Amino acid sequence: MDDAHNPDPGGNFATDSNWNLGSDSDTVNYLFTSDRESSILGEFGWNLHSARTSSESDRFGGLDRIDSENVGFASESSRFQGSVSCGGEACTVGSGSGGGAGVGDVSTSNPSVSSSSSEDPPEKATSSGGKLAEIPSKARKKGQKRIRQPRFAFMTKSEVDHLEDGYRWRKYGQKAVKNSPFPRSYYRCTNSKCTVKKRVERSSEDPTIVITTYEGQHCHHTVGFPRGGIIGHESTFVNHLTSPVSQFYYPGILLSREGPLNITQSQQVPVQTVESSTLREPTPQIPVDEGLLGDIVPPGMRNR
DNA sequence: CGGTTTTGACCCGCGC
DNA sequence: GCGCGGGTCAAAACCG
């Protein structure tokens, strides 16, 4: 909670691979901002590239491409600033205007994998010979590589590991993380038709930072909030259900394509409407809620 | 009693 | 081929 734990109080975290969140070969971009005041956040937006970032130019104020995993950072003061926009299969994050060029090789192109498919079989793999992880058995034939959903990771300063985000999650695993004293927890959305998963782990560099990684997108609405629609938590969640525009809400953070924004506790802040063309919103109408990831991941990069 | 968490075992991909 | 580490399963324990 104090800056003493911040690896880089000056505004950026280290750019090495200490923040590796994935075990696979996904390209990972790490986005960090200082946990200082929002002025820094507003100016920096997104700060750095992973060493594995593509060679594309940094058109968006620091980060140019997201292949499959984005990492943002929410400050302790429950503020987040920056933007997320997506185009095609790739997602860009930046403080400026965006709209990815669809670059990248996100492994979500398999049309048979759809997190919102209503015909998803029970996720429990039933293939003969053992358990098949990560994707439904229907979409996974023998010899097929694992196919990952796009992933988005956020870093939040919080004493609580599992941040409320409006969805109900069931923990299905926990693993020790190499080179980290903190375990990684695996959660699955309790909705049987929803394939969204998330990982929660605490940074070994800064134990005050919780790294939450979402994979997939919800195909259902959030559950209600018990207290006036807002989770009373240090990292405030802003219920995105009421949002008429394509803002990106997150526990304690607000993602918007437009300029810097602040979220205060238990307060929903109106923001400018997102241009539908950029985010490929089919209509300017109130979007059907597709859950947290549905907000974070614009339609352009969804499989459907 | 139903839903969730815990936890050891197992599977898979990758690097060597 | 083997070992390692990440990810998942599933039975048992736990909890409201």
The superfamily in CATH containing domain A156-207 is WRKY domain (2.20.25.80)
Beta bridge partners, A173, equal A186
Whole-angstrom Cα distance, residue A42 to residue A55?
25
Whole-angstrom Cα distance, residue A89 to residue A108?
8
Per-residue pLDDT at A172: 92
Whole-angstrom Cα distance, residue A269 to residue A262?
7
What are the boundaries of each domain within chain A?
Answer: 156-207
The pTM assigned to this predicted structure is 0.53
CB A242 within 8 A of CB A166: no
A23 CA: nearest nucleotide by C1':
C6
A199 CA: nearest nucleotide by C1':
C7
Per-residue pLDDT at A164: 74
Of A1, A18, A33, A17, the C-alpha closest to A205 is: A18
In order along its 304 residues, chain A shows pLDDT tens digits of 433 333 333 333 333 333 333 333 343 444 443 333 222 222 222 322 332 333 333 333 333 333 344 455 444 433 333 333 333 333 333 333 333 333 333 333 333 333 333 333 333 333 333 344 344 333 343 344 556 677 777 788 877 777 777 788 999 999 988 888 888 999 988 887 788 888 898 888 788 888 888 887 777 776 654 433 333 344 433 333 222 233 334 443 333 333 333 333 333 333 333 333 333 333 333 344 444 444 444 444 444 4
Using a 7 Å cut-off to protein CB atoms, list the covered nucleotides of chain B: 3-15
Of A84, A107, A110, the C-alpha closest to A97 is: A84
What's the token pair of residue A128?
A: 């003969």
C-alpha distance from residue A160 to each of A156, A202, A208, A233, A239 (Å) = 10, 10, 9, 9, 19
What's the token pair of residue A240?
A: 């995105």
Per-residue pLDDT at A148: 66
Residues 124-163 of A with CB under 7 A from strand C: 124-125, 131, 133-134
Per-residue pLDDT at A146: 59
Task: Locate the DSSP E strands across chain A.
Answer: 28-30, 69-74, 84-87, 90-93, 151-157, 169-176, 183-189, 197-202, 209-215, 248-250, 253-255
- The CA–C1' separation of A198 and B4, in angstroms, is 16
Beta bridge partners, A176, equal A183
